[in-house]
Amino acid sequence: MLKLYKLLLALVLTTAIYGNDFNFDLIKKGVDDNNTLLVIGGIQGDEPGGFISASLLATHYEITKGSVWIVPNLNFYSIIQRSRGPHGDMNRKFAALSKSDPEYETIQRIKSYIKDESVKLIVNLHDGSGYYRPKYEDNLHSPRRWGQCSIVDQTTINVPVYGNLKKIADEVVSYVNEHLLKAEHKYHLHNTRTVEGDKEMEKTLTYYAINEGKAAFGNEASKSLATHKRTYYHLLALEKYMDIMGIEYKRKFKMTSSGIYAAINNDIYISLYDGKIKLPLNKIRGFLKYFPIKKGQIVDFKASNPLMMIVKKGNIYTIHYGNRRLSKLKADYQDYDENKAKVNFLIDGIHKEVSFGSIVDAEKSFLVQHNPSFRVNVIGFTNKAKIETDIVIVQKDIAKKYSIDKRGSIYRVEYYNKDKFAGMVLVKFQSK
């Protein structure tokens, strides 16, 4: 009882102090129809291949025919905590659950989507240990391992479509095995035979779904693989499920190990306060000082990816991407000016008018043109005259330690209207 109380208290304190919303997202793509694929990632927060794959499906695929619903962050708090389950294993809470459980409302909500009449097939994404093999080979390759397999709870279910679970899973396994990165990564069908009385597996999401008359599958990638390689296998499987369901799509990256790595890590950003600040997060420094945070309010942000969250502790705001901590912002609390005026630069001698929140590319130099409405601070630039406008600035004029990225190429230009923060523009020097 004391342990449960501490868990509940931890959740209450986390929500109250951080001010975060850890509710999961439901992202609908395509056109709703009576043949929807529901994809779930993040039921366990220490399985990044699963939730990264679901997030890429949400952000890097266009569904041109059919309907796909995606939950990329089912157990978002668990993801942020890098834990299998701070309040117990969520994938063991679908048979019976007390209303006092901290995750009761989350379970009820995901159950409602599973039961939706338009949902016909469900895939729950996991990362499992080692490499599943029907027969024992060694400790890493055996029936007791879970990685690299397609999971069914039973062979068939009595539903109008997709009832032959084994046949569908066999098709997925065959397709994945045609595109292996390495022979050791071979997929197998894993029938847990839950219906025959496996009390532990009876508590899972897929078995609940089956008993609600829905075709449901688990897809496991191996924890022995790097995250982008796990993602590769999850996405291969998901593309085959979409093919089986007649769902058509366009993908924004190449289905290769390197293509997926780039999709995960490139062009990720977070925007703050209605776009007044935009931070590119690839190669961002782990700690940024004197960062303008609005006084007295929860940080308002929009992200390029549903796995991103800002967590507050004291005056430190940590940016999370899944279970990776990308950067910590040390707050310089400011009143904010709501002005959305555009500002003027000379970039390599060429005039540009830009909005707050912009990132401008410079090859050699930039100059911030004077605007009587604003005071300008180029972070890391020291000028004896204490005026930082109408001066040509080259990269070596700014102390590298003040760049927002580890390469030392992106610098902050901050605007103030009297004592109020008005907005930020980033100048990015191009790599030689």
Instruction: Parse the chain into domains and list their residue ranges.
Output: 2-265, 269-429
Number of other CB atoms surrounding residue 7 within 10 Å: 15
Element (H or E) spanning 321, and its range? Answer: strand 316-321
Structure tokens at 417: 């209207």
Decide: residue 177, CB within 10 A, 0-12 exposed, 13-18 middle, 19+ buried. Answer: middle
Long-range CB pairs of 262-267 (<8 Å, 24+ gap) are 263/56, 263/60, 264/52, 264/56, 264/227, 264/228, 264/231, 267/304
**Per-residue model confidence (pLDDT) at position 13:** 31
**How far is residue 346 from each of residues 369, 375, 378, 394, 403, measured CA to CA in Å?**
7, 17, 14, 12, 20
pLDDT digits (tens, 9 = 90+) for 27-54: 999 998 999 999 999 999 999 999 999 9
pTM for this predicted structure: 0.91
DSSP per-residue letters across 261-303: HHHHHSS-EEEETTTTEEEE-TTB-SEEEEEEEETTSPPPEEE
Domain spanning 2-265: CATH superfamily: Zn peptidases (3.40.630.10)
Kindly report the backbone phi and psi dihedral angles of residue 210, in degrees, each rounded to the nearest multiple of 5, phi listed first. Answer: -60, -40
Residue 121, beta-bridge partner list = 37, 215
pLDDT digits (tens, 9 = 90+) for 363-388: 999 999 999 999 999 999 987 777 89
Angle (deg, nearest 10), helices 257-265 and 48-60 = 80
Spell out the residues 6+ positions from residue 322 whose beta carbon is closer than 8 angstroms to its own.
48, 51, 52, 55, 79, 307
Q: Is residue 15 over pLDDT 90?
A: no
**211 band by pLDDT with thresholds 50, 70 and 90:** very high
**Per-residue model confidence (pLDDT) at position 101:** 96
Q: Is residue 243 over pLDDT 70?
A: yes
Of 411 and 19, the one with more pLDDT: 411
| Residue 272 amino acid letter | L
pLDDT digits (tens, 9 = 90+) for 136-195: 999 999 999 999 999 999 999 999 999 999 999 999 999 999 999 999 999 999 999 999
CA 220/CA 259 separation, integer angstroms? 21
Please identify which residue in the block is written with the tokens 């969250």: 309
Q: What percent of the chain has pLDDT over 70?
A: 95
